[in-house]
Chains A and B, each alone.
Chain A
């Protein structure tokens, strides 16, 4: 099977890779680019652990082919901190202990960041619906929701 050459941007950096057209974007991120933040939970778009943004739009990277990334801008959890400074969501997730095993966390951080960029003042219901596609089997969600709500409030004050 011949491989396809793809040029894309990941977290602002231009990257190139060769991939089989059957490989998902998640496969490419993890196995070809060494970005293991996005996780494979279900591989069928149900759990959200593989969430990334593509041209600013939140998607499951398991439901997109690597070849479709040509010319796109991909955002992953590796890109949300500024150097050593964690993103406010990351700080709040630690403060609230909004994670246990951590498999769902990168996807939830990306999804929550995407929500706050679109809606800086979401209601709790809006947060819960927005994150309905990110499954967590550890926390029972409450700490996650509180961490996102508090981050939103803090980011509103800071801006």
Chain B
């Protein structure tokens, strides 16, 4: 295995584009090192991007959103004084992953690019409308978060392409987001089902909504029809029932030791109701 620590993305892209065999990008390493140890993946080329300037920064974008550098950790997101005020659901989702020790290393972009269907931060970033910024031999491009995972362990990034940052849109007025997952214990487990919802309101009326489900299909899913169920409505019992039915209808889970198809489908509806209520309350001014 060759280990490289490039000083710029141009250098990193040249290394990745020219490398033969298996290439992995190293940021927090909480997936890469585990896969190496278990002999699941033994990279021929390992590119540590943490020495590249800007990769550790959380910064406001010119539009008023947020740019999260590729090496930013969960702990740094949770400690940031403003990020969690705009996007509490995204920060909380990331914070659910692993222990204090794992939070010190794990990155949301690693969580997205590891492409686990159960990745906790991914439904939250999809609901938020996050975009992955990548750079490659043919230049830069932006990929909506929901289009990054192609299946378990696979992404739509092309050879030589490297993520540089995750961009969250401006929060704007009267918006709120939330993520919850079901696990059989209180901490340190993999989601059986996860659900994120992000909405804006005008008074009591919902003016926009995005929902994403995790661990109920080969990739985290954006559920576009949520706009038909919620937009223009208040979050009353009818809206919540319709939302739960929509979440259930979009589930395509597997039966495994963590949960059956029937259980996962039911829980998706329950979580959709709960996160919708939290996001709605936050949009109307409740503090995270």
Contact = CB atoms under 8 A, between A and B. Distances in A.
Contacts of B1: 1, 21-22
A62 B33 contact: yes
B100 A130 contact: yes
Interface stretch (B101-109, B158-166, B176-184): B101-109
Chain A contact-residue range equals 20 to 34
A133 B34 contact: no
A114 B33 CA distance: 24
B187 interface: yes
B211 to A, nearest CB: 28
B3 A21 contact: yes
Contacts of B28: 63
Nearest to B42: A22
A107 B30 CA distance: 18
Contact of A43 (B37, B101, B188): B37
Contacts of B98: 45, 133
Contact of B3 (A4, A46, A51): A4
B188 A65 contact: no
B2 A133 contact: no
A65 B27 CA distance: 11
Interface stretch (A10-18, A52-60, A151-159): A52-60
Interface string A28-67: 0000000000000001111010010010011110111101
B259 interface: no
Contact of A57 (B3, B30, B75): B75
Contacts of A63: 28-30, 33-34, 101-102, 105
Contacts of B29: 63-65, 68
B48 interface: yes
Contacts of A46: 188
A-B CB proximity, top 9 nearest: A133-B99, A21-B3, A57-B104, A60-B101, A59-B104, A132-B187, A44-B34, A133-B101, A63-B33
Interface of B: 1-3, 5, 26, 28-30, 33-34, 36-38, 46, 48, 50, 75, 98-102, 104-105, 187-188
18 contacts: A21-B46, A44-B34, A45-B102, A54-B104, A57-B104, A58-B101, A59-B105, A62-B37, A63-B29, A63-B30, A63-B105, A64-B29, A68-B48, A68-B50, A130-B100, A132-B99, A133-B99, A133-B101
